[in-house]
A = this chain, B = another copy of it.
Amino acid sequence: MAETSMYERGLGPNAANYAAMTPCDFVERSAATFPDKLAIIHGPLRVTYREFRDRCRALCSALGRRGIAKGDVVAVLAPNTPAMLEAHYGVPMAGAVLNAINTRLDAPTIAFILEHGGAKLVIVDRELAPVMADAIAQTENPPPVVTIDDPLADGGVMIGDTDYEALLAEGDATADWVRPADEWDSMSLNYTSGTTGNPKGVVFSHRGAFLNAMGNVISFGLESGSRYLWTLPMFHCNGWTYTWAVTAVGGTHVCLRKVDPGHIFEQIAEHRVTHMCGAPIVLNMLIHAPDDQKRNFEHVAEIATGGAAPPSAVISSMERMGFKVTHLYGLTETYGPSMICAWPPEWNDLEVDARAQRMARQGVHYTTLEGMRVVDTESEAGVPRDVPWDGETIGEIWLRGNTVMKGYLKNPQASAEAFAHGWFHSGDLAVIHPDGYAEVKDRSKDIIISGGENISSLEVEDVLFKHPKIMEAAVVSRPDEKWGEHPCAFVTPSPGQELTSDEVVDWCREHLAHFKAPRTVVFGELPKTSTGKIQKFILRDTARGL
């Protein structure tokens, strides 16, 4: 027998001093602490924490009685409603895995997901029942369906043989649920949007979800008085784990079925919303909303955004309307946000352009993540080398720690590639500044090489975004006989604005090295993935065909 230090002898884990971490605890703790406090606002509906907890427990119990057990998948297709929140607790409380499906997917993709994940039960909002019915018809072993009859749903149909309230009535709200035996157990499955090929299933553990929720609480300053507006889809990495973070502090979830600027302003003003998250398009929609839809509010609403850095024009417009912008970075593979452009107080004194320059940084890793580095991709084959912290040398962002996914479901090869060298490879290219803040410059395939010079499509987009008449823009490479490639800009003018190609090119030449200015400009709406990311591969195809 190996010698044991007296510091480990007789000091092992037991029921009193060790518990598997799980975010399911949050709803229990908040119900115990603030039973009569508002947990959920949904249109005219008000749900207290006691009621929320009881409904989650009832769902858990009903699932158990239907034979849903550890490792089984429950798929949910629903907008940001109370039932969707309840699923984030009731399903993992039953030991099962929650698969929240993107509401913008088509039936064949949903069918693929249901079969790949092996869903044992489907819960669907009535408005989305038609596409789900279509998807289920395409599966070999159709799972049973429960339909949510949300009073705020717009049309749709009830399908399957049970409605959601009847399912809850099958359960016992006083029944205890069973904590996972191991905090590493899987609790949720999120499919990446997949710009090419089939989507990949990202698996989260109870441990990771608990810790990333804590990371959000700390990074975004949530507390029991917080009111969180659901502008970010809950199907998107479980709402970046805010589904659990807001409950952890006993804050109030303000549900939202649709991202409609007028409705958002109304909710912010009426419910004194303190926090919200969203893709850049959400910020743009708020800025470009017609004046009669805008509302003044006296408090400051914190808004976190990710996916692309907020340009200075966006920051200053948002600030004028009463928002404070925070820039987060993450991927589905990192439970949503895992880095933050943490804001040293001295940056507050900078002019808005300089602030935007700082805020463009993806920043530093969360306290709940172990580490971040930017690695010279040339060195990857051998021993990975960090790029110098010079703000210039580009490398790939690598992340590691407890809030990195367990892996891709049934895809050991993709998992092994993602985890090579013991770090998760983000696929995002970035520099690292002398102060240690990372700044994404591009996805590897978004670099345009023109006449041997590298052009960052992000840099050109940044300049386009600053044009007062431009609402959205994306830049890709277009084959060019002389230069090899040149930048091609796709531009959506702000509502009611007109713009010529020359105006766009001149603007860029004024603000960029001339070789970086687009030589082609195309006007129109931009194609997006279901999570709101611009689909550059479609634009690249278009540019090639021009």
Contacts and interface: CB of A to CB of B under 8 A. Distances in A.
A164 B129 CA distance: 70
Interface string A384-410: 000000000000000111101111011
B402 A18 contact: yes
Interface in A231-289: 248-250
Interface string A206-233: 0010000010011001011100000000
Interface stretch (A33-41, A297-305, A310-318): A33-41
A208 to B, nearest CB: 8
A16 B223 contact: no
Contact of A29 (B97, B185, B367, B410): B367
A237 to B, nearest CB: 15
Interface stretch (A416-424, A485-493, A519-527): A416-424
B203 A32 contact: no
A17 interface: yes
A5 B319 CA distance: 49
A143 interface: no
B249 A29 contact: no
Scoring A14, A25, A97, A399 by chain B CB atoms within 10 A of each residue's CB, the highest score goes to A14
A37 B70 contact: no
B410 A6 contact: yes
Contact of A11 (B5, B19, B203): B203
A207 to B, nearest CB: 8
A359 to B, nearest CB: 15
Contact of A17 (B249, B405, B435): B405
A415 B208 CA distance: 30
B214 A218 contact: yes
A318 to B, nearest CB: 21
B221 A7 contact: no
Contact of A407 (B17, B70, B118, B186): B17
Nearest to A69: B5
A429 interface: no
A22 to B, nearest CB: 10
B17 A400 contact: yes
Interface string A161-194: 0000000000000000000000011100100000
Sorting the interface of chain A by its residue count into under 10, 10 to 19, 20 to 34 or 35 or more gives 35 or more
A412 interface: yes
B344 A34 contact: yes
A21 interface: yes
A15 B217 CA distance: 25
A70 B214 CA distance: 29
A218 B217 contact: yes
Interface string A1-30: 000011111111111111101000110010
Contacts of A250: 342
B364 A5 contact: no
Most-contacted residue by chain B among A32, A363, A410, A419 (CB, 10 A): A32
B423 A5 contact: no
A25 B14 CA distance: 26
A345 interface: yes
A423 B415 CA distance: 40
A307 interface: no
A41 to B, nearest CB: 16
Nearest to A15: B422
A370 B25 contact: yes
A490 to B, nearest CB: 35
A88 interface: no
B342 A19 contact: no
A71 interface: yes
Contacts of A208: 17
A536 interface: no
13 contacts: A5-B70, A6-B118, A6-B409, A7-B203, A10-B407, A11-B409, A16-B399, A21-B402, A25-B370, A32-B364, A218-B249, A224-B342, A248-B367
Interface of A: 5-19, 21, 25-26, 29, 32-35, 37, 70-71, 73, 97, 118, 184-186, 189, 203, 208, 214, 217-218, 221, 223-225, 248-250, 342-345, 363-365, 367, 370, 399-402, 404-407, 409-410, 412, 415, 418-419, 422-424, 435-436
